[in-house]
Structures are given as C-alpha cells and as structure tokens.
Amino acid sequence: MTQRPATRHVDPAGTVPGNAGPPAAEPAAGTSETAAGTAPVDASGTAIPDTAISASNTDASADSPPPASPVATPADPDAASQPLTGRAVGLMLGSVLTFSLMAITIRLASAEVHPFQIAFFRNVFGLLFILPVLFHAGGFRILRTTSFGLYVVRCVVGLGAMLCGFWALVNLPLAQAIALSYTTPLFVTILAVLVLGEVVRARRWSAIALGFIGVLVIVRPTADGLNFAAMIALIAAALAASTAISVKFLSRTESPDAIVIWMVLIMTPLSLLPALPVWQMPGGVSWLWLALTGAFGTIGHMCMTRAFRLADVSALQPLNFLQLPLVAGLAWLLFAERVDAWTAVGAGIIFSSTLYIAHREARLRRRKVTDPQIGSETLSGN
C-alpha cells in the first residue's frame, strides 16, 4: 500500500455559509472560507458561502475519503480518536449560528449591493478581522513561502466558489442554497480520485450516488434541464471541493495560519475585479450588513477549525445540519420564504450520504504511522 503524507489544511472558501465545505479558514466554503475560512471554503459560510476557513488532515489510506464535512476535517492528526466534548459541541454550534447569520446578512445586503460586490466586502472586512491573527501568529515571518504560485491558483478557484455561492444565496431560496452546498464533500471525494489517485470503493461510490439523487429531488429538473440558479450553486460546491484538494498540497509545507492569512491577502484584491463592473456605493444600513458578513464569516471559521481540533468530524457532522432549519426559520421570518417538502427530503438524502462518508472515514483511521518529515498519518486496515 502506498503511503501518503498526512497533511494539515485550512480551507475555505468561501464558498457560502455553509459549504460547504471542508473549511478555508474560511473555507469558506468552506468549506468551507475553508481558512475557509476558505473554506473554502466560504463559498461556504454556508451555502458554501465564502470559501470558508477550515482545517483538515489527509487520510493516507488508498480508500480513505477526503474532507467529509462541507468545509473541513480535523486539523489535529489525533482528532479522529478524541471523544466528543462540550467545548467542541459549543464551538461547532457557534460556527453553525454564525454561518447561518452570514447567509442572512448576505441576503439583506443584496437589496442594494450586487453579490460580487458583497464578496469583495466580505474579504475586506474579513481581512480586518484576521489581522490580529497575523500578529498573534508571529507577524510577517509566517508569510514566508515558496508556494506563492499555488496560493494564487487556490485563491482564484476559491474566489470562483465564493462568487457562485454568494450569487446562489441571493437568487435561490436560502434553504435550497444551503442544502445544495452540502454536496461539497461528494465533489471532494470524486476529485480525490481524479487528482490524488485515491481509491474509492463500492460503498463510498454508493453514498455519492445517493447524494446526487438528493440533488435531483431538490432541483427536480424538467425537460429543459436544471434550474440555472441551482446549477450555479452546484458549481460553487464543485469549486469549493477543488480548493480543498489544492489545500491538501499546500498543507504539506505550509502552516494552517499561513494558508488562512495568504488566502485573505490574495482574495481581497482579486475579488475587486469582478465587483468593479457592478459597483454601486453602499449606503446606510448596507454597510452594517457587509461588515457583519465579514465578521460572521471569520468567527464561524475560527469556531469550526477549533471544534475540529477537539473532536472527530463524524461526531460533529450532524450538528452542521442544524444550519438548514436555522436558516430556513430566519428566511421565513425575514423574507417570507417557505421550505417545500422536496427541499427538505433532498437535503436529508444529501446529508445522509455525506454523514456516511464522514463515518466511514472515521472507521478507516485504525493504524497510525509516523513519517519523520511530515508527522502522523493514518492508514486504513482494508
């Protein structure tokens, strides 16, 4: 069996609150502002909102899955064996709450500001909130790197996830956008096979197929094809998954804090480019919603990464599903949006498939080996 080095990754995205995704500190995206906060993925605040800020470690087994959560997997190599604690639960609930509020502030800001412009200000205010982390982590010394080109590629893809995720949050019912963001780990698994050469066997492929059946239940395609906004949400999830894979490479040589900070530093000016053609100076209360979007995304990814350091992702994963009823309830109160039965059933199917992937990943972590250069990594026994 070929052994792959264990890695730590912080993602994104930004993908949309939720992501979604394994998280880039914020995510965000992430993962899922997968550092994510890319987390990813925040494409992933939650609908993988921002590319979220997230942290994870890569399973070295040929059959081991990629990040099982929309935004992240444990940052600590030993996290998979740690029991669920009250502190971990509290941090995860804090992440769910703040990512949910981020989805709401994105929608509120969209009354006056284009989603692309919201993404820019999310990065600007996220940068302001992340500066204390930079100085606490040792100042500019932490930014020394030989992987700047890979950082740029990761941020370009992460920005695509964030833009698509934010656009989906504005143009889809919020509950539907969040539900579709849960597909990020499905795409991560597929990309792990295509890019990393990981082996995924029948049970995991069955879970992936089940997850995409859930997508069909939600979007209910017609003879004319999928709803355009739903397609954008799925593209956001796929891009957030791509950022998670890129972070796996970065995390072999870069620290989690460096990945998060570089992401914000690069994505802030990059996100200005798509915002310029639709620019409209925000006014009045819109500034409040934009500032809160950046604050909620940053806080959400910080809570998520710390929760994943304290407990197993498969134990925390069910808590992430609370974001859907929370966002749905707030959307009903504030925007008179109702959740139809198709969205609820489809979301349940998607979440069940991703929960199985997380559970399977935890079971595969049986033996540990130590690489003298990298550290701990886990191997599957089958």
Determine the 3-state secondary structure of 36 from DSSP.
strand
| Candidate ranges 42-56, 71-85, 103-117, 339-353; pick with highest mean pLDDT | 103-117
pLDDT value at residue 362: 67
pLDDT tens per residue, range 115-138: 999 999 999 998 888 888 777 766
- For 210, 313, 314, the CA distances from 355, given in Å and listed in that order, are 12, 10, 7
Could you tell me which of 106, 71, 123, 125 has the C-alpha nearest to residue 330?
106
pLDDT value at residue 71: 38
Could you tell me which of 239, 292, 211 has the C-alpha nearest to residue 44?
239
Per DSSP bridges, beta strands 35-36 and 24-25 are: parallel
The domains of the chain are located at 8-379
Mean pLDDT in residue range 287-308: 88
Q: Is the pLDDT confidence value at 334 over 60?
A: yes
Q: Which of 165-174, 178-187, 309-318 has the lowest mean pLDDT?
A: 309-318
Greater model confidence, 365 or 193:
193
Sign of CA dihedral 150, 189, 340, 39: negative
Q: Is the pLDDT confidence value at 7 over 60?
A: no
For 32, the token pair is: 């899922």
Query: pLDDT band at residue 8, thresholds of 50, 70 and 90?
Result: very low
Mean pLDDT in residue range 77-83: 49
Tell me if 240 sits within 8 A of 19, measured CB to CB: yes
Greater model confidence, 348 or 86:
348
Q: Is the pLDDT confidence value at 53 over 50?
A: no
pLDDT value at residue 144: 81
pLDDT mean across residues, the chain = 74
Q: Is the pLDDT confidence value at 223 over 70?
A: no
Mean pLDDT in residue range 231-239: 94
Query: pLDDT band at residue 12, thresholds of 50, 70 and 90?
Result: very low
Could you tell me which of 140, 105, 123, 5 has the C-alpha nearest to residue 59?
5
pLDDT value at residue 244: 78
pLDDT value at residue 312: 73
Greater model confidence, 358 or 180:
180
Q: Is the pLDDT confidence value at 372 over 60?
A: no
For 242, the token pair is: 């791509």
**What does DSSP assign to residue 48?**
E
Query: pLDDT band at residue 28, thresholds of 50, 70 and 90?
Result: very low
Q: Percent of the chain at pLDDT above 70?
A: 70
- For 126, 130, 145, 194, 312, the CA distances from 69, given in Å and listed in that order, are 22, 23, 28, 19, 11
User: How many CA within 13 A on the CB side of residue 98?
Assistant: 27
Q: Is the pLDDT confidence value at 16 over 70?
A: no
pLDDT value at residue 335: 93
Tell me if 56 sits within 8 A of 39, measured CB to CB: no
| Candidate ranges 21-30, 32-41, 177-186; pick with highest mean pLDDT | 177-186
User: How many CA within 13 A on the CB side of residue 123?
Assistant: 37
* Largest interatomic CA distance in the chain: 60
Give pTM, 2 decimals.
0.74
Q: Percent of the chain at pLDDT above 90?
A: 37
- For 28, 56, 108, 287, 378, the CA distances from 368, given in Å and listed in that order, are 30, 16, 47, 49, 5
